Chain A
Amino acid sequence: MTSIRRRLLLATALGAGVSLAIAGLGGPTPAQGAEKSVTIGIDLPLTGADAEGATRIKYGAEMAIDEANAKGGVAGYKLDMMTLNDATASAGQYDPAQAATNAKKFVSDPNVVAAIGPEMSGAGKAMAPILSAGDLAIITPSSTNPDITDPKFAGQFRPAGKAIYFRTVTTDAYQGPNMANYMRDTLKMKSVYILDDSGAYGVGIANAYEGQAKKIGVKVLGHDQLNPKEADYTTALTKIKALNPDAVYYGGVAGAGVKFVKQSYDVMPKTIKAGGDGVFGPEYLSAVGFPAAEGLYATNASPHVTEDPAAQEWVKRYSERYKVQPDDYAITAYDAALVIIDSIKRVAASGKPVNHSNVRDAIQSAKVKTLQGEVSFDENGDINSRVVSVFQIKHNPKYPVDDIIHQYKYIGVAPQSPAS
């Protein structure tokens, strides 16, 4: 009995020591005088290939937290941040193993009451079971793989039962199919060839797209897989060209995507090319270059807010403060922080202790007015609004080539149900 208690004590002391050390190394030192504080964890791939988008997301979350602190904190609590990087040098991008380590750090720190992140679904899959065991909620501003919140996979991603993985974006279960609707209705696509990059995200979104395309009467001429390690896709593209589809839909991220876009411009410059949020990124501008990148369609799993007149005051604040333009996932990150702040407030107001479980429950029942509108979640943690925005690359020579805000032009919402 005593030995167990002693061990527990030791573990708590160790945990607190680690978190103190991290807080001391990482963020700003807490302001003097604040009596009570809680910590919001942030997990993002802040270095490597995903760094640019991750940094925009981080700024979005940070801004909401700093603004709340500037107003005197939340219900008497000062908000601290524990920002962890889930990218590693050996992966060169996000690393699921590092994401899992970070999740353990969040869970082991009783002061962390909720977290924001990760950017990538692969990291989310590694974090979810650990967060579930610790009953700690995380809100992702950008990871869209539906499996993580799908009740079919609850045993894998939330073994403890309750939803802990919340999203301020919708999932690929809508991103793919809505784009199929858009391409048939607006781009007049009658036939399509589908490619994916054999990764979890790519296969998922491509299959969801294919299912919907078939359902709404688009002829699917084939579905093949590109190996992201391979350099040559001309074989696949020549084959597709011979089938003469109206469009090619690519499910996947930049690894294979950059080569796909580049080479398909050589083989079939006139065919419509489209993808999900995996083809929304600076590589498609800098590494593909113009004119090859011109005309590529991409989607985002959130409403397009950065050009919304009502959000302009916010956009100005963000860009003045961080010297970069926000993208829509900076908005969803800001929204995620607003949801957490609101939830902490409600827990404190109810008189219950502000801890993992109570904040999770409050997030589950959140109805928060945010930049993208009212955010609320279903019982699995998915956002109730399911807006997918469509963008197209249109070269704007006034801005730098790799400026994703100005080279991707917003062209509308992909409808959840097709016009029949």
Chain B
Amino acid sequence: MTFGDVLIQQVINGVSLGAIYSLLALGFTMVYGIIELINFAHFNVFMVGSFLAMYILEALGLNGQNVILTGFPLVGVLAVALVGTMLLSGALGVLIERTALRPLRGVPGTAAMITTIGVSYILFNLVLLTIGADAFNFPNPMPKVRWGEAGVVLQLREVLVWIVAFLLMAGLNYFVRHTKMGKAMQATAQDQEAARMMGVEVDRVVMITFFLGSALAGAAGLVFGLYYNYTNFAIGYTAGLRAFTAAVLGGIGNIPGAMIGGVIIGLIESLGGQLLEVRWTDVIIFSVLVLVLVFRPSGLFGRAAVTKS
């Protein structure tokens, strides 16, 4: 491998990693855009999503990397797992919103945010106490397809991550810009009171926002599992923190900002690790964050450029 090859390889790694952060960052940014709440429970909705995805794949008859599918069965299994995981994770998000957050709507200060931290810990410990601390071999039915053995290697799993992330983000963008509910979300983000007076059901909008954000977190959980063939009760923390950083970097509340922010964090992580040392990853990421916030306090792409345009 030449140095150029290594850099290209690290870009491939970074974009794949970044795509997962992006999916996760969208949930933070959407909720913040609508009700100005930083939802820390999102970290562990993602983690629960990865377990849901694992159980769905196992229910479909997969076990570790022993069952390899191709063609239609592969696409079918992945589609069922994706839809199932997104629906269940979305439902979990709605449940959290209805039980823990809606009663606090209108309470000033940080009560709601602290509550999301509490919910996050509850999810974390529920999984720890019921499923345990073991690492799990996440089922993966994808054949090992690799392009370019000697130099830069591109694997099927990376292409899959990109495709799933791209389709979901494109779908979300379409939903927010062109559907009635999406426009209601934009209106609510701009001015909740005015939207309410114009006949927007704000509670419903918030619920749908939680559903979509959590469904994307579930999708990120599935993609994470397929990419690393691994899940564990503790995966939410680091990935969640990086995704949150991505959302802030892109301008929290800004949907395209979160997408690009995620990829930027992924690239900083892989190229930073390559050019410096891997142990410095966190220092590099958070230094970039601090620098961006010092010079552009509303993030790279401005707070709420789209949802609050």
A265 to chain B, nearest CB (A): 9
B133–A49 CB distance below 8 A? yes
**Which of B75-83, B91-99, B200-208, B273-281 participates in binding chain A?**
B273-281
Which residues does chain A contribute within 8 Å of B239, judged by CB atoms? 231
A232–B230 CB distance below 8 A? no
A370 to chain B, nearest CB (A): 33
B284 to chain A, nearest CB (A): 11
B14 to chain A, nearest CB (A): 8
B234–A239 CB distance below 8 A? no
A259–B238 CB distance below 8 A? no
Among A224, A227, A244, A259, contact of B230 (Cβ-Cβ < 8 Å): A259
B268 to chain A, nearest CB (A): 10
Which residues does chain A contribute within 8 Å of B14, judged by CB atoms? 235
Which residues does chain B contribute within 8 Å of A70, judged by CB atoms? none
B238–A238 CB distance below 8 A? no
Determine if B288 is an interface residue (Cβ-Cβ < 8 Å): no
> Are A49 and B278 also in contact (CB < 8 A) when A89-B129, A235-B269, A242-B1 are?
no
Which residues does chain A contribute within 8 Å of B3, judged by CB atoms? 242
B262 to chain A, nearest CB (A): 13
Report the Cα distance A233→B17, complex, angstroms: 10
In the complex, chain B residues 90-129 whose Cβ is within 8 Å of any chain A Cβ: 128-129
> Are A230 and B281 also in contact (CB < 8 A) when A235-B274, A238-B10, A242-B1 are?
yes
Determine if B228 is an interface residue (Cβ-Cβ < 8 Å): yes
Closest to B233 in A: A92
Determine if B300 is an interface residue (Cβ-Cβ < 8 Å): no
Determine if A384 is an interface residue (Cβ-Cβ < 8 Å): no
Determine if A263 is an interface residue (Cβ-Cβ < 8 Å): yes
A-B contact count (CB 8 A): 104
Report the Cα distance A344→B10, complex, angstroms: 61
Residues 242-270 of chain A, each 1 if its beta carbon lies under 8 Å from chain B, else 0: 10100000000011001100110011000
> Are A287 and B134 also in contact (CB < 8 A) when A225-B278, A227-B238 are?
yes
B202 to chain A, nearest CB (A): 36
Among B9, B137, B277, contact of A287 (Cβ-Cβ < 8 Å): B137
Determine if B132 is an interface residue (Cβ-Cβ < 8 Å): yes
> Are A234 and B6 also in contact (CB < 8 A) when A89-B128, A89-B129, A224-B277 are?
no
Which residues does chain B contribute within 8 Å of A235, judged by CB atoms? 10, 13-14, 269-270, 273-274, 278, 281
A231–B230 CB distance below 8 A? yes
Report the Cα distance A288→B231, complex, angstroms: 11
Among A224, A236, A242, A287, contact of B136 (Cβ-Cβ < 8 Å): A287
B6–A92 CB distance below 8 A? no
Determine if B179 is an interface residue (Cβ-Cβ < 8 Å): no
Minimum-distance CB pairs A-B, first 5: A92-B133, A235-B273, A287-B135, A225-B279, A236-B278
A-B contact pairs, 14 of them (CB 8 A): A224-B278, A224-B279, A229-B238, A230-B281, A231-B224, A232-B269, A234-B17, A235-B13, A235-B270, A242-B1, A242-B3, A242-B9, A259-B228, A289-B65
